[in-house]
Amino acid sequence: AVTIAPHSGSAPRVDASPLVPGSLEVRLDRGMGATYHQGQEVFIQLAPARAGHLALLVLNPLGRAGVSLTDQQVAAGQVVVSRLGVGKNEGPAAVIGVLSSEALVGMPAVLGRLAVPTDTSTIIKAVEELAARQNARAVFAVAPLTVKAGK
């Protein structure tokens, strides 16, 4: 991931500002619900309104959840840009941004235990439970997309 920031050179300070719905925005380079073809790249912007710890989760067309970016400490207003390659499987998919008050330890293991196929609601519930066990708060932003064959 590439960070584009107001950045002072030191690690961003994570404050106790409340994480409320709308504290995180996820944007795709082609817009929400866009279609991408196999072999293309998806460019994603994650824009938190509050300081915290950022993660980027992926739900592929087969219904498998994974982690693309984990525990990037961010300042309020910082924009993080990430990119993902589109795989060979067709169908609906999604990227899920997670902004948490603390680093969420064990997220890949939690997602790895989810039944396949899974969905965004199940992923969010699993991460919310992980956050609660770690006395953290988390907010989510989902960006759906579709994967098609060819170019």
Report the candidate in 92, 109, 94 with the shortest Cα–Cα distance to residue 148.
Answer: 92
Q: How confident is the model at residue 20 (pLDDT cuts 50, 70, 90)?
A: low
What are the strands of the beta sheet with 91-100, ordered from one edge? 35-37, 138-148, 91-100, 52-59, 65-74
Check residue 151 and give its pLDDT.
67
Q: How confident is the model at residue 150 (pLDDT cuts 50, 70, 90)?
A: confident
Task: Give the whole-angstrom CA distance, residue 60 versus residue 94.
Answer: 7
Cβ(44)–Cβ(28) below 8 Å: yes
Tokens of 113: 């235990």
Q: What is the DSSP string of 107-132?
A: HHHHHHTS-SS--HHHHHHHHHHHHH
Amino acid at 67: V
